[in-house]
Amino acid sequence: MDALDILSNKQDVVPYYQAIFSADEQTIAGYEVLGRIQSRGEILSLEDFFEDENVPDEYKIEIDDYIVEQALEYALAEKLDALIFINRDANLLMMDHGESFLELLLRFQAKGLKLEQIAIEVTEHQFKGDIERLQHLILYYRTYGIKLAAANIGRESSNLDRIGKLSPDILKIDLQPLRMTSASASYNDVLYSISLLARKIGASILFEDIEANFQLQYAWRNGGRYFQGFYLTKPEAQFLKKDLLKKKLSSEFHHFIVHEKKKLETFYELSEQFYQRVHHLALINEKLCDSQDKLITILSKELSDCSFRIYICDSDGFQTTGNIFKGSDGWVFQEQYKNKNWSWRPYFLENLMKMRIGRKGFFSDLYSDIETGETIRTYSYPLDDGHYLFIDLPYQYLYDQNGML
C-alpha cells in the first residue's frame, strides 16, 4: 500500500503480537509488537512501509506510535505479565533524543504499566548516528527499568564492539541461515563470538525465525534463553494462553536432553579409547626414541588413520619439534615449525596446566584450522618428560566417529 493510503486509513492499522517462549519455564515470556493493516478483508504487514526510505520520517513515527499505544492499552486491559518488545528505528528515536517515545511510555506508566516490561528492539547496524549518544540514551532509559534488545545480531554488518558498548539486555539472533540446511562452520564461529559477548555483558540470547524442530534444537543447544518463530506460533491479534506450548516444549526439550546426553556419553567413550591408544603408543615409543622428532615420526605411522599433523611443545608453549604433516602425497616433516611459540592461543597455557595436574589427555573443542581452514579437533597429551604432544584430527575422521562433531 502507498504510504499516504496507510496514513489516511490509520484507523485500520492494528498491532499483532508474536509470542516469545522461555527455555527455563517453557511458557510465554513476552510478545513482539508488529504493525499490520486491515485492507479489503486481508491483514497486511507494514514492514515495507517502515523500511521504505522514501516514506517521510514523521509518517513512520506517527504510525509507529499509534501501534504502540494500541498495544499498551491492550496489555493494560489484559493485565499482561510478560515482556513487551517494541521495534524502534534508532535513527528516528534519536531525532528528539528519545524524548517523545519516553513521554509515551510514561503516560502509560501513569495508567499502571510497569516500564520493566518494556524491551526496546533496535538494529545496531542500521543506526547512522553517534553510537555514544545512543548509548547515553539507553543508559537513561535503563533508569526507568526499560530494557534493550539488539536485533538481527550476526547479520549484515553487525559490529560486536558497538553492540558491546550498548550492552543490551537481550541479543536477538535470526536463524534464517538454518532454513535450508545445517549451519555452516562460519555461522557457528560467528554464533560462538556472539555467545561469548552475551556472557561478558550479561545478556540473554533470543533466537527468532524458528521454523522447524531442528532450528529449535539448534537454538536450545547454543544457549538460547528465548525462542520465537512460526514453528512455535504465528503473530496473532490477541495474547495467547501463557502455558500454551508448555507440554510440547517440555517434551521436545526432553528429547534434546536425551540426545545430548547420549552424544556426550559417546564423546567421552571415544575420548577414553583415544587416550588409551595414545598412552599405549607413547609408553612404548617415548623411551625407545633418541629424539622427539623421531617419536612424532613413529606416531604419525601409528596414527595415520586419524591424524594429519603431530608436534610437541614444552611447558612454555615453544615447539620442540617440527611438524609432521600428512598432505596429498603422504607424511612430510616440516622443520620450519621448530621453536614456534603457541602460548598466545586462547586457553593454551590453561590447557597445559590441566594436563600437568590431571596427567591425562583431552580433545579440544571444534575449531577451524588456521592453515587448512578445515574444521578439526586437537588431542593434547602430557608426555613423561614435561613436554606435551599435540595431535590434530581432520574433519573426515571426526565425521566418521559418531559423536565427535
In the numeric block, which cell numbers belong to residue 361? 589427555
Q: Identify the helix (H) or strand (E) that includes residue 210.
A: none
Q: Which residues of 373-396 are buried (b: 16+ CB within 10 A; e: fewer)?
A: eebbbbbbbbeeeebbbbbbbbbe
Q: Where are the domains of the chain?
A: 3-231, 259-400
Instruction: State how far the Cα of 130 lies from the Cα of 136, in Å rounded to an integer.
Output: 10
pLDDT of residue 161: 81
pLDDT in tens, 317-353: 999 999 999 998 999 999 999 999 999 988 899 999 9
DSSP state of 106: H
CB atoms near residue 257 (< 10 Å): 11
Instruction: State how far the Cα of 382 lies from the Cα of 400, in Å rounded to an integer.
Output: 26
Who has greater pLDDT, 65 or 368? 65
pLDDT of residue 152: 85
Q: What is the largest CA-CA distance in the chain?
A: 89
User: 3-class SS at 19?
Assistant: strand
Instruction: State how far the Cα of 17 lies from the Cα of 14, in Å rounded to an integer.
Output: 10
pLDDT in tens, 11-23: 999 999 999 999 9
Who has greater pLDDT, 153 or 57? 57
Say if residues 358 and 383 touch (Cβ distance below 8 Å): no
In the numeric block, which cell numbers belong to residue 327? 598432505
pLDDT in tens, 275-289: 999 999 999 998 889
* 3-231 homologous superfamily: EAL domain (3.20.20.450)
In sequence order, which residues have a C-beta less than 8 Å from that of residue 390 and are 6 or more positions away?
310, 311, 312, 313, 378, 379, 380, 381
Is the pLDDT assigned to residue 154 strictly greater than 70? no
* Residue 37: closest CA among 74, 77, 66: 66
pLDDT of residue 180: 52
pLDDT of residue 175: 85
Say if residues 313 and 342 touch (Cβ distance below 8 Å): yes
pLDDT in tens, 115-140: 999 999 999 888 999 999 999 999 99
Q: Which amino acid type is present at position 31?
A: Y
pLDDT of residue 157: 53
pLDDT in tens, 178-221: 665 555 666 777 787 888 889 889 999 999 999 999 999 999 99
pLDDT in tens, 42-89: 999 999 999 999 999 999 999 999 999 999 999 999 999 999 999 999
Indicate the pTM of the whole model.
Answer: 0.88
CATH fold match for the domains 3-231 and 259-400: no
For domain 259-400, the question of CATH label 3.40.80.10 is answered with no
